[in-house]
């Protein structure tokens, strides 16, 4: 018997499991304290009314022989593919329906897409970044090279002279730093990837937070991206589907490497290992893109944006340097007093009973940084902001 020895290369537990465990241990030891959780970026608003209506109607369909649905089409229902294609068309990106693959979420697709790539590819992963990119490649034993995302480069690594990698992950707006690429910056990555025969794995899970018109919401807004990029998107952040589970991957027709086309490979992979997102969930997801759905969702996004503004104001008041929170639901702050990320995690828990995410958990370059999420309940976020500001004042006193 042999097990996958590459698991030895991983941290013992997934970042958000560690944060959750530490927060639970603190709460158990201090039952009199109200702990406010701003660690994992989980949404707090319920599904929007038009989404719930669609979900109910789909559940009712399942109750009748004439309207019941069993296994769905391989790539997802056409009604949802069409709704997604319409969403992309609004920003000038034209997609064929066969280029849209519905799934149970971007996280699964980001991990699963690696089935398409050989084990000897070199993978470039920004540091810090969503830990799934690094961990899934380490599990498969691939060589991971890190691209530092620092205050100096605006947390947006760019191709450097002589850079070679086969697979590059880009996350924009970025988790955890909140930095987002402009179209011009993405064009540099696209040109580099086309020259190098590399593939860009573009995580657009937070695109709905972008308001600055210079920032790209999809890599396919950039000329040349169809011959080098795959985009992953999610209903979790745009529409609160973290517990409902739905996402999609856009894989352009004709994208090929090493004599093989990637879209048919992905279809083969998905049909072999995945039986599709539930019909009722796909109906709910399609409602997101209706006029009423979009209006309701914008209200929810504004609610989270307001949370980000409240947190940002508290940090500014306390003289703490932070980034993000503008075109992103995350605020990335420099730990005050030269504290390390985990040190500040403990300090904040102890002194404000607020849980955040230590920057170091996203990579070495996150050392001394800390992430707060704006996805919380508004009243709790205001309370957390007041507690954080008050606690930080004691540091400065
Ligand atoms: C996060 O907190 O980074 C995200 O919620 C994790 C995820 O989307 O899987």
Tens-digit pLDDT profile for residues 362-391: 999 999 999 999 999 999 999 999 999 999
Average pLDDT over residues 45-51: 98
Query: What is the distance in A from the centroid of ligand 1 to the CA of 41?
Result: 5
Do residues 160 and 229 both lie within one domain?
yes
Smallest CA separation from ligand 1 atom 5, residue? 41
Query: What is the distance in A from the centroid of ligand 1 to the CA of 114?
Result: 19
Instruction: Write out the two tokens for 380.
Output: 């709790």
Average pLDDT over residues 227-231: 98
Do residues 123 and 256 both lie within one domain?
yes
Which of 259, 290, 321 is the C-terminal boundary of a domain?
290
Rounded Cα distance, 123 and 137, in Å: 8
Do residues 220 and 365 both lie within one domain?
no
Which of 251, 267, 290 is the C-terminal boundary of a domain?
290
Do residues 263 and 115 both lie within one domain?
yes
Pocket test for ligand 1, best of 18, 38, 40, 235 (most atoms within 8 A of CB): 40
Query: What integer pLDDT is reported at residue 12 of this predicted model?
Result: 81
Number of domains making up the chain: 2
Rounded to the nearest integer, the mean pLDDT of the chain is 97
Which residues are CB-neighbours of 101 under 8 A, at least 6 positions away? Answer: 75, 76, 109, 248, 249, 250, 251, 266, 267, 270
Query: What integer pLDDT is reported at residue 7 of this predicted model?
Result: 95
- Is the pLDDT confidence value at 11 over 90? no
Query: What integer pLDDT is reported at residue 118 of this predicted model?
Result: 96
Contact residues of ligand 1, CB 6 A cut-off = 40-42, 107, 130, 175
Query: What is the distance in A from the centroid of ligand 1 to the CA of 169?
Result: 16
- Is the pLDDT confidence value at 305 over 90? yes
CATH number for the domain including 15? 3.90.1150.10
pLDDT digits (tens, 9 = 90+) for 110-124: 999 999 999 999 999
Query: What is the distance in A from the centroid of ligand 1 to the CA of 131?
Result: 9
Do residues 115 and 260 both lie within one domain?
yes
Smallest CA separation from ligand 1 atom 8, residue? 41
Q: 382 lies in which domain range?
A: 5-47+292-392
pLDDT digits (tens, 9 = 90+) for 15-46: 899 999 999 999 999 999 999 999 999 999 99
Nearest ligand 1 atom to the CA of 107 is: 9
Contact 357, 366 (CB under 8 A): no
Nearest ligand 1 atom to the CA of 237 is: 8
| Neighbour count for residue 168 (Cβ, 10 Å) | 27
Instruction: Write out the two tokens for 382.
Output: 């205001």
Nearest ligand 1 atom to the CA of 234 is: 8
The model's confidence at residue 2, banded by pLDDT at 50, 70 and 90, is very high
Residue 113 lies in a domain: yes
Nearest ligand 1 atom to the CA of 175 is: 3
Instruction: Give me the percent of the chain exceeding a pLDDT of 70.
Output: 100
pTM over the 0.75 mark = yes
């Amino acid at each position: 018997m042999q097990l996958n020895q590459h698991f030895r290369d991983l941290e013992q537990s997934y970042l958000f499991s560690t944060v959750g465990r530490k927060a639970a241990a603190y709460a158990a030891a201090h039952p009199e304290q109200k702990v406010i959780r701003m660690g994992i970026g989980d949404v707090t608003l319920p599904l929007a009314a038009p989404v719930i209506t669609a979900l109910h109607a789909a559940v009712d369909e399942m109750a009748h022989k004439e309207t019941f649905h069993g296994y769905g089409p391989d790539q997802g229902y056409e009604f949802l593919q069409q709704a997604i294609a319409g969403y992309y068309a609004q920003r000038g990106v034209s997609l064929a329906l066969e280029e849209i693959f519905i799934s149970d979420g971007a996280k699964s697709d980001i991990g699963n897409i690696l089935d398409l790539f050989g084990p000897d590819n070199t993978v470039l992963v920004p540091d810090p970044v969503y830990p799934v990119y690094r961990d899934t490649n380490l599990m498969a034993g691939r060589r991971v090279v890190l691209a530092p995302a620092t205050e100096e480069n605006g947390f947006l690594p760019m191709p450097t002279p002589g850079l070679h990698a086969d697979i590059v992950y880009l996350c924009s707006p970025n988790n955890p730093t909140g930095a987002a690429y402009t179209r011009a910056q993405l064009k540099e990555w696209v040109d580099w990837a086309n020259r190098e025969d590399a593939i860009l794995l573009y995580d657009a899970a937070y695109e709905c937070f972008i308001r600055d018109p210079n920032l790209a919401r999809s890599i396919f807004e950039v000329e040349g991206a169809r011959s080098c990029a795959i985009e992953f998107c999610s209903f979790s952040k745009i529409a609160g589907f973290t517990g409902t589970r739905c996402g999609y991957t856009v894989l352009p027709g004709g994208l090929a490497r090493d004599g093989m086309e990637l879209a048919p490979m992905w279809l083969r992979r998905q049909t072999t290992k995945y039986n599709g997102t539930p019909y009722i969930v796909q109906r709910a997801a399609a409602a997101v893109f209706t006029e009423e759905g979009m209006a309701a969702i914008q209200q929810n996004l504004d609610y989270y944006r307001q949370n980000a503004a409240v947190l940002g104001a508290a940090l500014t008041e306390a003289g703490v340097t932070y980034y993000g929170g503008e075109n992103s639901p995350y605020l990335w702050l420099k730990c005050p007093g030269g504290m390390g990320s985990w040190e500040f995690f403990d300090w904040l828990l102890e002194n404000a009973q607020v849980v955040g995410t230590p920057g170091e958990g996203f990579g070495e370059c996150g050392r001394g940084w800390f992430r707060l999420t704006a996805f919380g309940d508004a009243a709790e976020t205001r309370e957390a902001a007041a507690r954080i500001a008050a606690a930080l004042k004691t540091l400065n006193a």
